[in-house]
Structure 1
Amino acid sequence: MLEHGGRLLRASLDYGIARGDWLDLSSGIAPWAYPVPEIPQAAWARLPETEDGLEQAARAYYGATQLLPVAGSQAAIQALPLLRARSRVGVLSPCYAEHPHAWRRAGHELLALADDQVEAALDSLDVLLLVNPNNPTGRLLPRARLLEWHARLAARGGWLVVDEAFIDNDPRQSLADCAERPGLIVLRSFGKFFGLAGVRLGFVLAEADLLQRLADYLGPWTIAGPTRVLGQTCLTDGATHDLQRIRCAAASRRLAEQLSGAGLAPSGGCDLFQYLRLPQAAQLHDFLARRGILVRLFEEPAALRLGLPPSAADERRLGQALAAYQKDHP
């Protein structure tokens, strides 16, 4: 299994700190979870059915004409490589590690690319894969550039796969409204923006034929009935969408200022996290963990990703730890 954020139980064991005493900033998930609605008994008692309101709500929310609900975008990440013959796959790197892992495991040839290497490599690729905004760096590529890349790939039967797990905070940058075009596949995550990662819900936006192939591969009843009720409720709650965007943006801005004030100016980030690339990343990760603050460590390149503190008290706690680190490591 690959490394991910949110492994609080393991950190509790490693550092001897009770689970309830941690400030967990290790995942880029909004720390304010949407309220869970009352779930009708029938959602628990009956097999789930499609087009019960969830798909309609998702199409309206994403501005898409067609989509497929999946059990978290992770399900699609693992399945999509199995729907193509062996291909040459370019991956904008660094990248969410599950993407290259899945394509490599399925037998495809992978090529890690920096942003400025795509133009030269694109016409030799069958698939270009990227996360936008990127995880973990937060880099955001413009729509026009992505659509241009897609057109060049699609002309040769290629795919552009865009993971938009963190784009809900600025949906104007999404390609969701273009995803019916052949060769364009957009992945959307539910848990991050709505703060409900445990729900395990995501959506694939693509042309109808590919969605049908993916649905056939994944099989029936992939989304539990209670999840379908919850997802529909959250996707249609427009007032809370606005509130979530406002408070995430403000918290991310405060986090960036806090890091900069401690001499640790972020190297990137978005409205759900800040990214800090520095040689002593492992040292700072351990320093914070010994004080009950868990952040996400990356080894290559050496970096940290910090999620949003959920309260003013948590911001002060992080600030005190950063001040202590700055004092010990001037």
Structure 2
Amino acid sequence: MSVSAPSSDPNLEDFLRHGGRLAAARRAFPDAPAPWLDLSTGINPRPWKGARATAASLTRLPDPDEIAALEAAAAAAFGVTPDRVAAVPGAEAALRALPRLLGARSVAIASPTYGAHAEAWRLAGAKVQCVAPGELAGVASEAVVMVNPNNPDGARHDDLEPGDRWLIVDESFVETAPELSVAARAGHRLIVLRSFGKFYGLAGVRLGFVIAEPGLAARIGAQFGDWPVSAEAIAAGTAAYADSAWREAAAARLTKDAARLDAMLTRAGFDILGGTSLFRLAATPDAARRFTALARGGVLTRPFPDQPTWLRFGLPKPKDWPRLQAALEGSRR
């Protein structure tokens, strides 16, 4: 697939906040071939395909016992007891609720990382300091936030102890590196966030979890009321977390696909900076031009506002590898 030279570069502002802005991409690049190949997020392109909500469950409110069963299934997968787990409508919802719930007036965030953390704390009126991970110990704050493995560079943090301040560890991508999880140690001042939709490829069901000491987990759960998640989230999450065979096979497959993507990006002139097996962070001096060229070919990637040489690539579906390769070759022209 060749990519025609742009007559003018569209404004990239719509794509700097987060991935998945397909409607904005269609507006900005109306001549791009359809369907779009969306690689702007780190969502498994081969989702879990088990039980979904029944028609009957969609016509009534979720039962508390069903939510309890979901939390128990997740707890077993996380290696914790169910009383430490609260289901929430996505890890995003939890990270935005925590600043207000904890009441901390200052936070240090290991950076660069997922921007919603800083945004959530600023909206809560807290003093926000975004610092390199190695500088956290020297920063005075009431709370610390770390994403592990980190988004977007995949950096891994091994020394995670809360000390005398709140430590929030966002493990949204930890299924790609389960040895990093500190969920089993959650308690006292350590809070762990988990995401369902990324690894299981079902981001639209909006399901996540907070793991904390039992009293705090209950308080967090209460913030989202008696029906914190949907029937679809309950059905998918309860069954998927019990499917250890799928989880192991998916992890192995993602590792191979990430290596394949690294090789493809390297041949296309990118430098691989890191990532997880669900996304790869790459660098090139002309990242903005290549983002635009790829988009004109119907391939959406993720640029970054404060790192003009970076692009993040998610994994394509099996049928889309040739299309991605052609688009990458065309973007070099």
Would you call these one fold, judging by a TM-score over 0.5? yes
Q: Answer yes or no: is the 8 Å Cα contact 2:107–2:141 preserved in 1.
A: yes
Task: Please give the alpha-carbon distance, in whole angstroms, between the structure 2 residues aligned to 1:277 and 1:219.
Answer: 43
Residues 1:83 and 2:132 aligned together: no
**Cα deviation, residue 285, structure 1:** 0.6
Task: Provide the aligned C-alpha RMSD in A.
Answer: 1.8
Cross-structure match for 2:225: 219
Q: How does 1:175-194 map to 2 (within 5 A)?
A: 175-179=182-186, 181-194=187-200
2 CA distance for matches of 1:35 and 1:6? 21
CA–CA distance in 2 between the matches of 1:39 and 1:210? 29
- In structure 1, runs of 5+ residues without a counterpart are none
The residue number in structure 2 matching 1:106 is 124
Structure 2 residue 79 is the aligned partner of structure 1 residue 63: yes
SS of corresponding position for 1:21: coil
Would the aligned equivalents of 1:26 and 1:307 in 2 still touch at CA under 8 Å?
Answer: yes
**Percentage identity across paired residues of the two chains:** 39
Amino acid at match of 1:5: G
TM-score using structure 1 length:
0.90
Q: How far, CA to CA, are the matches of 1:233 and 1:74 in structure 2?
A: 22
1:114-155 Cα distance to aligned partner (Å, 9 max, x none): 12212322xx2211101111111111112xx113xx2x2xxx
1:133 corresponds, among 110, 124, 149, to 149
For residues 33 and 86 of structure 1, the distance between their equivalents in structure 2, rounded to whole angstroms, comes to 37
Superposition TM-score, scaled by structure 2 size: 0.89
**C-alpha displacement at 1:17, in angstroms?**
4.2
State yes or no: 1:262 paired with 2:268: yes
* C-alpha displacement of 1:36: 4.4
CA distance in structure 2 between the aligned counterparts of 1:186 and 1:315, rounded to whole angstroms: 35
User: Aligned letter for 1:314?
Assistant: D
- Counterpart in 1 of 2:43? 29
The 4+ residue runs of structure 1 with deviation greater than 6 A are: none
CA gap of 1:224–1:282, structure 2 versus 1, over 3 A, is same
Secondary structure in structure 1 of the residue aligned to 2:303 = strand
1:306 Cα deviation (Å)?
A: 0.2
Do the aligned residues in 2 keep the contact of 1:43 with 1:229 (CA within 8 Å)? no
Counterpart residue number, 2:60? 46
Bigger relative contact order (CA 8 A; separation at least 6) = 2
Query: How far apart, CA to CA, are the structure 2 residues paired with 1:173 and 1:280?
Result: 34
SS for the counterpart of 2:234 is helix
Number of residue pairs aligned between Structure 1 and Structure 2: 314
TM-aligned CA deviation for residue 86 of structure 1: 4.3
1:217, distance to aligned residue in structure 2 (A)? 2.2
Confirm or deny: 8 A CA contact 1:88 1:125 kept in the other structure.
yes
Contact 2:52 2:232 in 1 (8 A): no
Contact 1:86–1:109 at 8 Å: present in 2 too?
no
Paired with 2:330 and 2:230, the residues of 1 have a C-alpha distance of 46
Letter in 2 for 1:93: S
Q: Which runs of 5+ in 2 are unaligned?
A: 1-13
The amino acid that maps onto 1:61 is A
Structure 2 equivalent of residue 118 of structure 1:
136
Deviations 1:266-314 (A, max 9, x none): 1111110000234422111101001111101112122111000111x42
Distance across 1 between alignment mates of 2:104 and 2:79: 32
Tell me the equivalent position of 2:181.
Answer: 174
